[in-house]
């Protein structure tokens, strides 16, 4: 069984201090509405946990009805990070993963409001390269051109 290297969730606190929507929610706390928004965001973040092992990214989803989905790291094509100026200040970001796995067939997997996103991205890239090397897999891009 692969050993867990990292386990994390989207950060509600990071979202509050690292996005304009979070700052607006904090202002709404003065009139009581913001606490409801924070509770909803916290429950949504609680519903999904990301676990990184040496060969997989495992998504644990749900609170009442749970599902587990996995992305084999050797299938990851690209790991991207996006962050705004406010996100940089709060040290959070959005990690976007593109892969050839069924999990990302409908579109890339976006993990929002990730604390230490830069470090986690670099760690994920290193694990992807190690998983490819261990399996002897190489990435080949096929360009489809109309002749």
Per DSSP, the residues of the chain read -PPEEEEE---HHHHHHHSHHHHHHHHHGGGTHHHHHHHHHHHHHHTEEEEEESSEEEEEE-SSS-EEEEEEGGGEEEEEEE--HHHHHHTEEEEEEEESSGGGTTS-EEEEEEETHHHHHHHHHHHHHHHHHHHT----PPP----
> Model-level pTM?
0.81
Question: Roughly what angle, to the nearest 10 degrees, separates helices 20-28 and 33-46?
Answer: 130
Lowest model confidence (mean pLDDT) among 16-20, 72-76, 92-96, 137-141: 137-141
For the domain made up of 4-135, give the CATH fold: PH-domain like (2.30.29)
Please give the average per-residue pLDDT across 18-29, as a whole number.
Answer: 88
pLDDT band at 32 (very low <50, low <70, confident <90, very high): confident
Lowest model confidence (mean pLDDT) among 1-5, 77-81, 121-125: 1-5
Tell me the pLDDT tens digit for each residue of 38-83. Answer: 999 999 999 999 999 999 999 999 999 999 999 999 999 999 999 8
């Amino acid at each position: 069984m692969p050993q867990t290297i990292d386990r994390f969730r989207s950060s509600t606190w990071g979202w509050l201090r690292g996005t304009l929507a979070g700052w607006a929610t904090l202002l709404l706390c003065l009139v009581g509405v913001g606490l409801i928004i924070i509770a909803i965001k916290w429950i949504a973040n609680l519903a999904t946990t990301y676990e990184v092992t040496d060969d997989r990214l495992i998504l644990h989803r749900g609170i009442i009805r749970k599902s587990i989905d996995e992305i084999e790291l050797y299938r990851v094509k690209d790991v991207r990070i996006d962050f705004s100026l406010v996100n940089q200040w709060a040290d959070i970001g959005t990690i976007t993963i593109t892969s050839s796995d069924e999990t990302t067939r409908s579109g890339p997997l976006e993990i929002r409001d990730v604390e230490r996103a830069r470090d986690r991205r670099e760690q994920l890239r290193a694990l992807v390269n190690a998983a490819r090397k261990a399996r002897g897999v190489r990435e080949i891009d096929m360009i489809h051109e109309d002749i």
